[in-house]
Structures are given as structure tokens and as C-alpha cells.
Amino acid sequence: MTNTFGHLFRITTFGESHGGAVGVIIDGCPSAHKIDMAKVQAFLDRRRPGQSHLASPRNEKDTLECVSGLVNGITLGTPITLLVRNEDTREDHYSDLTQVYRPSHADYTTDLKYGVKAPSGGGRASARETIGRVAGAAIAEQILGTLLPDLRVVACVDRVKDIQADVSGKITRAEVEQTALRCPDKAQQAAMESLILEAQKNGDSVGGSIACFIYNCPGGLGEPVFDKLEADLAKAMMSLPASKGFEVGSGFAGTYLYGSEHNDAFVVKDGRIRTASNRSGGIQGGISNGETISMRIAFKPVATIFKDQQSVDRDGKEQTMKPKAGRHDPCVLPRAVPMVEAMAILCVMDHFLRQKALASTRGAERL
Amino acid sequence: MTNTFGHLFRITTFGESHGGAVGVIIDGCPSAHKIDMAKVQAFLDRRRPGQSHLASPRNEKDTLECVSGLVNGITLGTPITLLVRNEDTREDHYSDLTQVYRPSHADYTTDLKYGVKAPSGGGRASARETIGRVAGAAIAEQILGTLLPDLRVVACVDRVKDIQADVSGKITRAEVEQTALRCPDKAQQAAMESLILEAQKNGDSVGGSIACFIYNCPGGLGEPVFDKLEADLAKAMMSLPASKGFEVGSGFAGTYLYGSEHNDAFVVKDGRIRTASNRSGGIQGGISNGETISMRIAFKPVATIFKDQQSVDRDGKEQTMKPKAGRHDPCVLPRAVPMVEAMAILCVMDHFLRQKALASTRGAERL
Amino acid sequence: MTNTFGHLFRITTFGESHGGAVGVIIDGCPSAHKIDMAKVQAFLDRRRPGQSHLASPRNEKDTLECVSGLVNGITLGTPITLLVRNEDTREDHYSDLTQVYRPSHADYTTDLKYGVKAPSGGGRASARETIGRVAGAAIAEQILGTLLPDLRVVACVDRVKDIQADVSGKITRAEVEQTALRCPDKAQQAAMESLILEAQKNGDSVGGSIACFIYNCPGGLGEPVFDKLEADLAKAMMSLPASKGFEVGSGFAGTYLYGSEHNDAFVVKDGRIRTASNRSGGIQGGISNGETISMRIAFKPVATIFKDQQSVDRDGKEQTMKPKAGRHDPCVLPRAVPMVEAMAILCVMDHFLRQKALASTRGAERL
Amino acid sequence: MTNTFGHLFRITTFGESHGGAVGVIIDGCPSAHKIDMAKVQAFLDRRRPGQSHLASPRNEKDTLECVSGLVNGITLGTPITLLVRNEDTREDHYSDLTQVYRPSHADYTTDLKYGVKAPSGGGRASARETIGRVAGAAIAEQILGTLLPDLRVVACVDRVKDIQADVSGKITRAEVEQTALRCPDKAQQAAMESLILEAQKNGDSVGGSIACFIYNCPGGLGEPVFDKLEADLAKAMMSLPASKGFEVGSGFAGTYLYGSEHNDAFVVKDGRIRTASNRSGGIQGGISNGETISMRIAFKPVATIFKDQQSVDRDGKEQTMKPKAGRHDPCVLPRAVPMVEAMAILCVMDHFLRQKALASTRGAERL
């Protein structure tokens, strides 16, 4: 299932960063829903480079073309195929790129596994592969908008290197989109921006973390054993380029507490069963409990930097890579925000369909 | 795929903690391998409660019975079915357990999803479900022992609450198994034990983290997009009961570095391409590069504690749960060590078979 | 997915004919349904040998044991595991069975593929493997009984060698079960029985065909491309031991007609859209249309006969196999009737769950 | 898995007959193989309408565009995406097509399932969907050409209505392609052609059967239980539009024989174990035995005819459909020949990869 994600709502992405096109097939999409393609394009534009002074100057227009699955914007229940033609394929910034493995990129392992090294660019390992994911999620989000009108999936920059934002309140996507940085904590925005621009000036890069919240997620999503909702979210997020860690709810920090401090007491609020605190992060035993789902994803400092680096070429000879003028991001975090949202949306959509099959066939017996 | 893990080497676990039996079917196991069932039992015994003063006094013998797939200990290529009968099903420690949802357990969400609440015990959410995983992995490990004789999968306790061990060197399973704690750092063992026993005395629980290493993993395992090796490892680990976080290689800590500090330079060593450092954690672009694979998994303080807790019953009425004398672990970490190893082994085995299909059909063209 | 059938309602069967046990895990079973295990056993007993003078004298009691998934007969939504212990493992009837490949059995190809030849008996290729399928289907049928109370899946013997029955009317399972032969056409029963007993006397075997009908199947089941309902039924039936052909609706015979004779006109009957004829066999474009689904499956004369046969042993030396007194069926058809029903039920159940996921998320737009 | 076929070599097809494009994604394709796209196009051209006087006059150029997966014609191991733009979308031949359900087409069931009725044309049910299958198979065939140079997959017209050809000898694709009819039996070609042209003149259609042979298939392909090679072939063929039946080896005819007449004796020939006859059709116990695999598929007379027909419109009112001048085939058989070959190739390719994973990890023990 290499290039496919999901069980009932499945996306299959295709395309290399420097080939003819990248895109996605969505299989299992519910029929008779109206899709606003301008909104899909708008969601996709959020992951585009060249959006701001913080990101890569590379200007990809990334205009979506839909070649199947919709008539008059209505889903037919057939596979939806969305394509983006690759246009901006200028030569890459390392002159010897086709022969030398870039450190901490996928070049070496791709060559090892497939015996081919695509000329310039990261092939499927490029962030450009995520176009298909984001486009697929943008469709899913519109359908969820009809089926679960209160659901909101919002991600934001949580930390840049060692500058931590406060993202503890309820956050809207509008707030996040107010700045190119995509961090809603106004107190930290200036410092974060300076840090990124400073790294860029030095030919260097920085990492950090993204927080993601699913508000008003219905209870009952997720399966109790392997396909726990947090397990599928973890896989989803760890499949994004440059991600190095994942945590849900209280995460690593919660492991410093005693059980008596960590447990979420059950209470009744407005006639509904709720938890008084939410260290579970909205998921218990792998199944959503109706509270806000929260998670955090670590992204490493991107591997493309503008400094001399030690490496080895395809013939096994050590080489010093010398950068040419380049065009990559000093920090992947702002662009990763919509990618993280996309993966969360895809997980919710898939588990929502799975839950629907179960819920609509449940019997009436009671134990 | 609720209860199934893996694509070519697939395990399906079954059984509730208080039903007739728990177990596993292994499908896709290579044929004509000799299995030593005593070693499988020995691996399984490591996850058993009642092993030491640190763990639950509950004494489960957990004797494996093999009902299919082997003749004279040789794999037939047919499904291998392993069963453990449930024997120790004494009444549970909360008198009102069948009616009140235990905080931070799966009781409430299970009832929400399935409309049934199994009498006492956590059903599939119980750590007892992992018997099937560990038994399946013990079979896989023996087969990997023939196919990849140098491969070693070793996990250990990395941190208990706020006491951090040093696990930076190469660790053997023998070292780890020297103490009930399963932490190889002799300098921290006493403090960690005291902390756990103190929590137990207080009716409380503690969490922490497990480190896991895959030594001598062949390069080429993992797929470039969704089924990245770290993504499947993340899903595997986050599907374990009580896990809250996962990181690979430099993980969250690595995101505090600059790219120039984080990148792993390529070098040639003994005629082989290697990385000078290993912040990638043995995986680049989702594919193993031949270096040691390293990861860390966060486990929360277990939810079962011996203190009064606020909760709600099935009728939606708030209740105070009052503990009876119980029998659960104050700290899941020592027993989680073989579970983490098991999930890592299952990932390696599955991706190894997948890689074999590709590698044995690769063409001879070169780009 | 070797030993697994189904996408949302999945059965995984296990066990060799001469190992410790055979059985099934059902994964994806809707929760909160009451199962009558005596009825499951009764369904299973229909496939048992030793039921009548027409079948193998081998007496397998085949008593089901349920080790997971039910409490007080109520489905928990967890995997249901059903086991039958193997008891009757007397020596087989060919003295040299472990060394000589039986003609038209799976011995040779199993050895070729797995490099192991299980001592005596057909391993997974034995009809005994179908115990798991039938037990799984018996559970499914009870749940369908609640969800689709009018649905009826009925199979019967359609032809024995060259004696064709008339099965054109609506048939009930009660009618079919009136005779050991399981052919409802009273006019042909005597001739069919004689033919089978004559073959038995001669140490020979006969084949024929089974007809299967799904009455009151809801419309909308099946997918338009690869997972057409008839495609999944074909796979299901062709996966039964000894089956050699499958046809749906007008089948091979319908290909002798002109299109103008073959098309099913649409009419309105009792306010519902119906077809005037039913050459489509209840499926159009891969999707059920609400009419009776009809199919026919060819079963070869079973390969086990009591005559000298030419063969080859594992060392590649030609040998004449000389039969000992044996215990196999001269005609598989009567026992295959419940197996065919089982596979049809499993297909309906799986596609019903898949359809539920789609139908409950369909939008309101109209093209 | 609606629109996906295969487990390790997976194709996902997309596109409606009257949408923007149709095509395929191939996932799991071995890397480093050279693909000759002109040959892929040539294979595809065989299924095109407008090729001859026997087929639909509709002229689809069906020019393939490859947008991912190949560089310089070499497979990268990434998804291969092939597209054909839809060009010829003239109005269809029934004026009221958007409102009236065409008899024995997928219109009614598609509307029933999805609640949308695509404007004109059969959507995914159209034979145009098979473009993706055939293109995918054409890639697979070239790779199999390297891995299994002696393998040949050849299909041909076996019977048109009641005119039966003799296809008992070894047949080459070159022979089959000598005539537009694609039947190699010169004795029957004229009669078959007359029958088809006569039906066309009468505004009617005819069906028949296709035979398909896999020569020099390696032994060991297929799995013993659900994924038997013949079961996957049956599903593959029954998923083709208009197919109504499938048989393997002796098929339905073989069920008229006694077991003693039907069994295939094993012999040694040229040092290899062979069968003296081949009623098994090259598959025993679901696994290929190295003999020629043979099967036959029934195709109904196509539903599109040029006569008045009784039907019902979307509002549930009975209507008489009156044909306009149209452009469909009077007989699908000649064009179905490459489709049948395509499905057979896809099955072989997928099972070959699956077998490679097993064979390359098999142990050395012997039972």
C-alpha cells in the first residue's frame, strides 16, 4: 500500500517533484456532495512555496486540474483525480547533485532501494508529493463540513527551535492565517521570524514543532487495537517529510506526572459525559471520546542548507558538496501547517466512514 | 483492518482479557523454518505480570498452545495460530466496576462505540491483548534469526518519571534482562526502583519512556511515502496500550538544532557508505540506511490507581470510585519493553518481506 | 491476504486438516447482536461428512468452541474466534501417501511452493478448511437476519454429472434439507442418488453443479469496477475446493441469445422499479438491483478415487498408487451446498457493510 | 478497494467515459526496468473502438500520456500514472438518455447506489474504464518479459453465439491479430463475421466466449485458500464489463466426467514432473503447476441495441426508448480479447511478486 493512505476513504498520491505532474486519486468519496474547487485550490495554495518572505522563493503556481470524479462540482462516488502540472523545474542548486548524495536527504536510500537516482530533486521524497495529500484533504474537509458541521481541524506553529508559543486556548484557522508564520501567539511572532530570517541569512535552517487540534470531533472514531485513532494519526504525521516525532494529549510531558495527577476524571456537563481535564487528548483506548483531540509533531531543521557539506558520490568517493545559490525554505514549519491539517482531516474522514458502517449495523442488545 | 497488523507478514490478535482465550494468527509466515517453541514461550514470559516485586502480583502462567501452522516445529507456510487460555479471572478491584467508567481507561469509549460494556476488565484494551503481538513477534524473530543473523532488536527502560538513564551505548538484551527494571544504566537503577515502589506504596503510578534500537538492520526497508519505516514504527508503538508519544533518531530534541548541526554527513568506512553521525536514526526518506535504528516511546502513568476518583456511571450519574485491594502494576515500563521489541520486530519482518519482493524483481537499468 | 476474505466483515481461517484444530477469526462483526450458537453449530453440521449414505463415512463431530468475541451470546464488536478440534485422524487410505503426489490434488503444488509436504492429508487444501468459512457465515447470517429480515440465501444441487434438475422456481432451505442429496427436484432425486452410489461402488466419483439464489437482496450492493458483486461472488466460489466454473444470471447459456432477447426490460410493479425478466441475475454493472441474485458453480468429480493411478513421488520417480480402503465422498455436491451458501452470505455481509458506510454519508445533491 | 486491483502490483483506474480523462496508477512496479511506451500504446490500441468494420465506428485515438513514474523510459519504482484524454464526446444515441434507464445497463443501479446519474454514457461502467487496466497490463507484460522471458498470455475469440471455434492447439498472439475478429480458427472466421454483421444490420447484438491461455507460467503462483490463482482470475474476468461466466481447465464440461476420467496423472518428462493431461487447467489447489493455464469467459450480447425497448425513467414512469443512430459494437468479443489478456497479465504479475517474497525467504527445513 506504498502510495495509498486510508481504508474506506483512500488517497493514492503520484508524481515526482521534477516529473510531468503530481496529484492524487481519491477513492471511496461519498457521492452527491457539492465541491467548491476554488476552496480546494485555496487550501492547496497554503502549502505552496513562494508565499512569503519566510519561505522558499520558488514560485509554483500549483493550479489544480480535476480530470475525473466530479460533474458540475458534484461528487459521483467515482475516483476523483486531481493533477498539478510541474512547471518550475529549473536546475537545482548543487551542481553535482545527480552524483553526490545530499546529507540527510532520501537520495542515498532511494538509490539503495530502487537502483535508480532520479536526475535532480527528491523524487517522491520531495515536499511536492504532499500536494496530492493536501488536495485530497481539501475535498474531504468540504464533505465533512456537511456531515459534521461543527468539526474544525486547526494546526499552527507551536515552537520554532527554542522559542515556544502559547497555543493553549481555542484557535481558529483565521487567526493562524493572519501571518505568514502561522503562529497565533502574537507575543512570540517577532522573535520567531527573526530567528528564521537569521538562519536564512546564514545559509542554515531551523526546525520546531506544530500543534494540531480537532475540535468537536464526534466520539467513537478509532479502533481498539492496531488502528487506534492516535496510531493512525501518528502514522499519518510521521509519513510527512522531515517529521521526527509525534505525541498526543499530554505526550512526553505527561510521563513526568503521577497517575493521580494524569487521570482525567469523568463529569457530567450539560447532560453529557465529559472529562474534567483532557490529558488523554480526546482519545481513550484508541477511540475518540468527544473532547478536543490534540497532538504535536516535531519537524527537523530541513536538510537543504547553503554551507559546504561532507558527502559521498554514487561511485563511493567522498566529496565536498558546495552550494550554489538556492531556493529552499530555511524553516518548513509554516508550510507544514496545512500538511498536518490535511493528514488529520484524512484520518478523521476515513475513521468516520468506518464508524458509520459499524454504527448503522449495531444491534440492540445490551450487556 | 482493525485487529490485523502488517501487509505481507500479518498478525491478527484476538481475545478479551477476561474471555476464554487470547491469541494470534500469523499469516504470511515463510515456510520451512524451524521454530523453537520454548524460546517463543520465553519471549512471551517477559511480558507476563507477576514476574517481580515491581510488577502486578497477578500471576498469569500464559502457556502457549499452538493449534495450527507447525508440524514438528517446522513452519508450513499456513497460518500459525497460538492461544493462551485465560485462567486468573478473579473479581476486579473496583466493586462497582461494571457500572462506573474508570477514568482514563477505555471503558467509556468502548461503550460509546459498541454499545456493550464487557463485565469487568478492559476487554481488548487490556494489556493482555499484547500476548498475541508478542507471541507473533517471537516467531518472526526466530525466522529473522536465519535470514538476517546479525539483526538485533533491543529495547530498555530509558526514563522513569523524571529519572533519565544513559542508554547511549550499544545495549544487549542480556544486559537489559539482568534486572526486573529492564534499565541497563546501573547508575540509575536504585533510584528508579525506589520511585516505583514509593508510588506503589502510595496507591499511585508512574510513567516514563522506553528506548528501542534495531542494530544491523539492512538498508532498503520502508517505502518512500505513506509506509515510511518510521511511520509504520510510529503506528506500531502508538497502538500499544498507554503509549502517548513516539520519536525517531534525534526526535523532539533534534528540533532545537540548526540544520548544519543536525545533518548526517556521508563518509566511507570499511568500503561501505555510512553516516558520520546518526541523527536520522537509521532512516532517511522513510527507508533504512543501514545505521542503527533508534526510537523512543512515551508511556503514561497507568490509569489504574488505588485512590478515590471522580467518575460517572453508565446511567450518566456522577460517582466516586473507591478502590478495593488491587493487583495492577504501578509502572508499565518494565513489561512494556518486550512489547516494544515485539512491535519493532513485526515492522522489520513485514518490510523485509516487502523489500524482498521488490529486490528480487528489480531490473538492471541505471539512471 | 492469503487466508482472509472480506474487506469490512473479514474472516481469516486457519488450521490444517490433520493438525490440532481448524477455525476462524471474524473481524469487523457488528456489536450488540445476539448469536444463537446452537444454530451456528446446526449450520456447520450441514457441511460435516458422515451425515448420510451419500457422503464419506468419516465421522467428524466438529463441535465448535467459541474462545472470544461473545459474552452471553452477544457480539462485543471484537474478533470472534471459533475453533473445532481435529479428532478423527486415522491413517489415510494410500499407504504411500506421504511420498507420492496424489493426482489432481494439491500435494505437488503445495510441495513446490512451500518446500514442505505435510504428513498425510491435504493441509489447507482439504475441505476441512471450509469449517471456518461456514462457521463465520453462520454468524453473519444471524446478524443479517436482524438487519435484513427478508433476505434468504439458498443453494441446492442443480446437476449431478449429466442429470439436470429443474431449480427454476423459488426454493427454500427447508425443501433442500429434506434429502441428503440436497436437490429439491423430486423428479430427479432417485436417478441422481443411483448415479452417485453406482460411482461409489465402482470406486469412482462424480461432479456437477450447484445453484445458489439470494432472495430479497437489497439494491445497491457491489462496486462498479473491480469489486463488482458478481466478481466477488466469483472469487468466493472459485476459492472453494473442487470448483471449476462460475456463472451469474443467464451465464454461458445467455451468450447464445441476441441482445434483443437477452436485455431485461424495466417495468414498474407495485410502485417499484423492477425488471420484467432477470437474465442479469439480480446484478447490473456490478451492483445489485433488487431482483433475485442467481448463480451456478461447477464442481469437478473429486480427485480421491479408489482405483490404481499413475503418479510420481517426491524423488521424481514414477509410481502406481494403489488405493487402500478409504473414506471419501464419491460426490462433493451435497456437502458443497452449505459451503456455497456460506460464501454467498459472506459476500452479502461484507458488501452490505460497505454500502452502509456510503449510504449513510451520501450528500443531497442531484445530477 | 473499489477501484484498485492487486496486492503487491496494484492498479487503480479512474475516469468516466465522458469526463476529462481516463487512466491508471500503477503502484508497486519494480524499478530499473526499461519500458517501450510505443509498445504500451500498441497494446492499448487493440482495445480501441473504430479499428475495423466489426466494431463501433466511434473513433477514439486514445493516446497515452505518462505523467509520472518513468524517466527516460525507466521505471523508478514510484507510481506510474498513465492518462488518456477523452475527446470524442458527441451526444449519445438515445435522445432521452439522461432520464430513462437503459435496459441491462448500469444506469439504474448507479443511480440507486450513488444518487447521481451522470449525463450520458455509462460512467465507470463503460468499457472505456478498461483503458486503465489494459495500459497497466501492458507495462506489466514488458516487465514480465524480462523476468519470465518464456511466458506468453494469449486470448482469442472462442465462440460467437452458437459458432464454436477450435482453439485446442497452441496459439500465438500474432495469429490472433491476423483478423479483426481475433479468432484463430480459419474454418469459422467467415461464418462468425457474417453472424456479427447480420446482427449489426438488424440493430441487434451477439455474445459468445473468449478463451485465454497462459503458456510457460512458472509453478508456485497462487495461494491455497481464498487467493487461489483461479479465484483471482475469476474475479479479474468477472469484473470486466459484460462478462457473465468463468471457467478454468475442464470447467463446466469436466463436471460431466467421472473422477477416473478427469484426474491428471503425474508423469516425468524431460526430467520434470508434469501432468499427462491438463484438465486441471494448470492450477491445482489454487497454485500453478507449470502446465498451460487455460480459462474461458462468457460475454453477453451487449446491451446497447437499435430497437425500441421498454424501460422506466428516473421519475418512475414507464417509457419506450427509441434509438437514434448510434455507434456501439454489435459484438464485444474482438475488443474484449486484449482486456482478458490484460486481466490475466495483472494476476500473474501480482502473484509473481507475492511468490517472490515467499520464495526468497523460505527456510531449508524439510518435512
| 3-state DSSP of B52-104 | CCCCCCCCCCCCEEEEECEECCEECCCCEEEEEECCCCCCCCECCCCCECCCC
Give the model's pLDDT for residue D323. Answer: 78
pLDDT at res. C90: 47
Q: Which amino acid is at C59?
A: N
Residue range B127-158, pLDDT digits in tens:
899 999 999 999 999 999 999 999 999 999 99
Secondary structure (DSSP) of C257-281: SBHHHH---EEEETTEEEESS-TTT
DSSP-derived secondary structure letter, B313:
B
Residue with cell 520567531: A192
The answer to whether residue A58 scores a pLDDT higher than 90 is: no
Per-residue pLDDT of D142-164, as tens digits, reads 999 999 999 999 999 999 999 99
Lowest-pLDDT range of B243-257, C211-225, C283-297, D124-138: D124-138
Alpha-carbon span B240 to D306, nearest angstrom:
63
Shortest alpha-carbon distance between residue C279 and chain B (Å) = 36
Q: Report the residue from B12, B15, B77 with minimal CB separation from C12.
A: B12
For residue B56, what pLDDT is reported? 64
What is the amino acid identity at position D182? Answer: R
Complex-level ipTM? 0.96
Let me know if residue A366 belongs to a domain.
Answer: no
Instruction: Indicate whether A364 belongs to any domain.
Output: no
Q: What is the mean pLDDT of residues A227-244?
A: 98
Which tens digits make up the pLDDT trace of C171-209? Answer: 999 999 999 999 999 999 999 999 999 999 999 999 999
What is the average pLDDT value for chain A, to the nearest integer?
92
Residue B98 burial by CB count (10 A; 0-12/13-18/19+): exposed, middle or buried?
Answer: middle
pLDDT, residue D74, reads 96
Question: Could you tell me what percent of chain B has a pLDDT over 90?
Answer: 84
Domain CATH code at residue B161: 3.60.150.10
**Cell numbers 516425468 correspond to what residue?**
D268
Give D148's contacts in chain B (Cβ within 8 Å): none
Q: For C6-39, write each residue's pLDDT tens digit.
A: 999 999 999 998 789 999 999 999 999 999 999 9
> pLDDT (tens digit, 9 = 90+) per residue, B191-215?
999 999 999 999 999 999 999 999 9
B218 close to A (CB below 8 A): no
Inspect the interface and report whether the beta carbons of C19 and B118 lie closer than 8 Å. no
Weakly modelled stretches of chain D, pLDDT under 70? 1, 50, 56-60, 88-98, 118-122, 325-328
Residue D357: list chain B partners with CB under 8 A: 8, 353-354, 356-357, 360
- Min mean pLDDT across B259-263, C59-63, C361-365 is at C59-63
- Assess if residue A365 is contained within a domain: no
Give which of B1, B83, B98 is closest to B37, Cα–Cα.
B83
- Place B92 in a pLDDT band, splitting at 50, 70 and 90: very low
Neighbours of A164 (CB within 10 A): 14
| pLDDT computed for residue A50 by the predictor | 65
What is the tally of structural domains in chain A? 1
Within chain C, residue ranges assigned H as helices are 37-45, 107-114, 130-147, 173-176, 186-201, 229-238, 251-254, 259-262, 333-359
Whole-angstrom distance between the N-terminal and C-terminal Cα of chain B?
38
Does D143 sit within 8 Å of B362, measured CB to CB?
A: no
- Angle (nearest 5°) at CA D250 between D245 and D255: 85
Separation CA B346–CA A339 (nearest Å): 29
> How deeply is C150 buried, as exposed, middle or buried, from its count of CB atoms within 10 A (0-12, 13-18, 19+)?
exposed
Rg (CA), chain A: 21
Q: Where are any strands of DSSP class E within chain B?
A: 4-5, 10-14, 21-27, 64-68, 70-71, 74-75, 80-85, 152-160, 163-164, 208-215, 243-248, 266-269, 272-275, 283-284, 287-288, 293-299, 309-312, 318-321
Residue-wise pLDDT tens digits, A140-174: 999 999 999 999 999 999 999 999 999 999 999 99
Which residues 6+ apart lie within 8 Å of A194 measured at CB? none
Please compute the mean of the pLDDT values over residues B324-335 and round it to a whole number.
Answer: 81
Residue among A242, A295, A298, A244 at smallest CA distance from A129: A242
Q: Please answer whether residues C15 and B82 qualify as being in contact, where contact means their C-beta atoms are separated by less than 8 angstroms.
A: no
Q: For helices A333-359 and C333-359, what crossing angle results, to 10°?
A: 130
Q: Which position has the grid cell 478515590?
A: B308
C132 in contact with B, Cβ within 8 Å: no
- Residue D364 in any domain: the answer is no
Residue B366 located in a structural domain: no
What would the grid cell of residue C17 be? 486438516
Nearest CB to C298: which of D108, D233, D255? D255
Q: Residue B121: what pLDDT?
A: 53
For residue C21, give the chain B residue with the closest CA: B67
Tell me the pLDDT band of C88, cut-offs 50, 70 and 90: low
Distance CA B326, CA B250 (A): 39
8 Å CB contact of C353 and A361: yes
Q: In this complex, which of B12, B14, B119 lies closest to C71 when CB atoms are compared?
A: B119
Which three three-digit cell numbers place residue C205? 466419483
Average pLDDT, chain B: 92
Cβ distance A367 to B117 less than 8 Å, yes or no, reads: yes
Average confidence (pLDDT) over A226-233: 98
Instruction: Report the greatest alpha carbon distance in chain A.
Output: 70
Q: Is residue D304 in some structural domain?
A: yes
- Label residue B19 by pLDDT band (50, 70, 90): confident
User: Is the CB of B30 less than 8 angstroms away from the CB of D358?
Assistant: yes
List chains touching C (3+ CB pairs under 8 A). A, B, D
**Does C145 reside within a domain?**
yes
Minimum-distance CB partner of A366 among B115, B204, B249: B115
For residue D125, what pLDDT is reported? Answer: 84
Count of A–B CB contacts within 8 Å? 392
CB A207 within 8 Å of CB B262: yes
Query: Chain B partners of A116 at a C-beta cutoff of 8 Å?
Result: 365-367
Amino acid at B277: S
B217 CA to centre of own chain: 18
Q: Does the beta carbon of C313 lie under 8 angstroms from any beta carbon of chain D?
A: no
User: Shortest CB distance from C116 goes to which of B4, B16, B76?
Assistant: B76
Please tell me which of the candidates B16, B115, B123 has its beta carbon nearest to residue C32. B115
Q: What is the mean pLDDT of chain C?
A: 92
Which alpha helices (DSSP H) does D70-129 contain, by range? Answer: 107-114
Cell of D109: 443501479
**Are residues C262 and D106, on separate chains, in Cβ contact within 8 Å?**
no
For residue B351, CA distances in Å to A2, B5, B6, B132, D151 come to: 11, 12, 9, 20, 29
Give domain status of residue D366, yes or no: no
Q: Do residues D45 and D59 touch, judged by C-beta distance below 8 A?
A: no
Chain A positions touching D98 (Cβ under 8 A) are none
Q: Radius of gyration (Cα) for chain D, nearest Å? A: 21
pTM of the predicted structure, to 2 decimals: 0.96
- State how far the Cα of C76 lies from the Cα of C201, in Å rounded to an integer: 50
Q: Which helix (H) or strand (E) holds A246?
A: strand A243-248
- Range(s) of the domain holding residue B320: 4-359
